Amino acid sequence: MSQQDTNPGLHLRHSQQSRLQKAVNAYKQGGARYLWHKSMRRSLEQWPALKRRIVYADPRDYWTLRGGSEYLAEQEGQPARTARSRWLASRIAACKPRSILEVGCGYGKQIASIRTAVGTDVQITGLDFSPSQLALAQEHLKSDSNVFLIQGSGDRLPFPDQSFDLVLTSAVILHNPPEIAEAMRRELLRVARHWCVHNEDTDTTYNRFGYDTAAWYQQRGLNLVEAAPIPPEVFVGSDDAAGESARSQFCLVRLR
């Protein structure tokens, strides 16, 4: 038995020092705003609706603050996220697009998986509103000369009608309030030539609004080729593979 186990006061001091060091590290990483943001994420765990209003009031601000090396390490450290990314890439490759737009590309994880699945000839464009996420994507994808990264908003896409064979979102629409989510879906339809593909969870949390994307397309009479949860075996390695599968929704829509 260690000294710390037999001395509650010593354990408390270690915990306090650990919390203090984490606070110092957060301040060094992103300044006072990042420290506040991170502390609110921790302290409001039990009140997701309040957390969404306070921490996630501005999704652009949230993802700019989250979009750093810590977030990248967190995501890359989850094997289930990588398995999901590869599964999505294989479904996209089956559509045989010659050009792809990912709206909300983040640091480029999904684009890298898509590139492996479709080969080097397919042009891929990534758009994100977070400069910190795009900075990581530039580094992550710098060896790929057929990837183009653009800062912009999904509800006002800077592209002409039918610019891309396939348009993709992965856990992006769900982070936006209803009026922005509606504008994003319409913009995705506008710039897509043949396919819209979505991975969007349906549950509501502190930073997710939870939408039924498949129902949105069905209500408009569009050709919904597939709408189903991502299979649980894709999430092997997750602490909650069945739960991740149950709240996921994969949608594949053929336009023309």
Residue 162 and residue 117 share a domain:
yes
pLDDT per residue rounded down to tens, the chain (256 residues): 444 455 555 444 444 446 566 556 655 666 776 666 667 667 777 777 777 777 777 778 877 877 777 788 888 889 999 999 999 999 999 999 999 999 999 999 999 999 999 999 999 999 999 999 999 999 999 999 999 999 999 999 999 999 999 999 999 999 999 999 999 999 999 999 999 999 999 998 877 888 999 999 999 999 999 999 999 999 988 989 999 999 999 999 999 8
Q: What is the CATH number of the domain that holds 84?
A: 3.40.50.150
Range of the domain at 59: 20-75
8 A C-beta contact, residue 123 and residue 100: yes
210 within domain boundaries: yes
Rounded CA-CA distance 251/160 in Å is 24
Whether 100 and 221 map to the same domain: the answer is: yes
pLDDT at 12: 43
What's the domain count of the chain?
Answer: 2
| Overall size of the chain counted in residues | 256
Judgement on whether residues 139 and 202 belong to the same structural domain of the protein: yes
- 61 and 88 in a common domain: no
CB atoms within 10 A of CB 199: 23
What distance in Å separates the CA atoms of residue 151 and residue 158, rounded to the nearest whole number?
10
pLDDT at 6: 54
| Residue 153 included in any domain | yes
> Does residue 103 contact residue 154 with C-beta atoms inside 8 Å?
yes
Tell me, yes or no, whether 67 and 183 share the same domain: no
Q: Based on DSSP, count helices (H) and strands (E) in the chain, helices before strands.
A: 11, 7
Contact between 209 and 175 under an 8 Å Cβ cutoff? The reply is yes
Pairing of strands 192-199, 250-254: antiparallel
pLDDT value of position 22: 59
Measured between alpha carbons, how far is 217 from 186 in angstroms, rounded to an integer?
A: 10
- In-domain check, residue 217: yes
Please check whether residues 245 and 173 belong to one and the same domain. yes
Q: What is the pLDDT of residue 15?
A: 47
CA 198, 116, 77, 142 dihedral sign is negative
For residues 194 and 244, state if they share a domain.
yes
Regarding whether 176 and 102 lie in a shared domain, the answer is yes
Q: What is the pLDDT of residue 21?
A: 64
In the beta sheet, which residues pair with residue 228? 250
Taking the model in full, what pTM does it have?
0.84
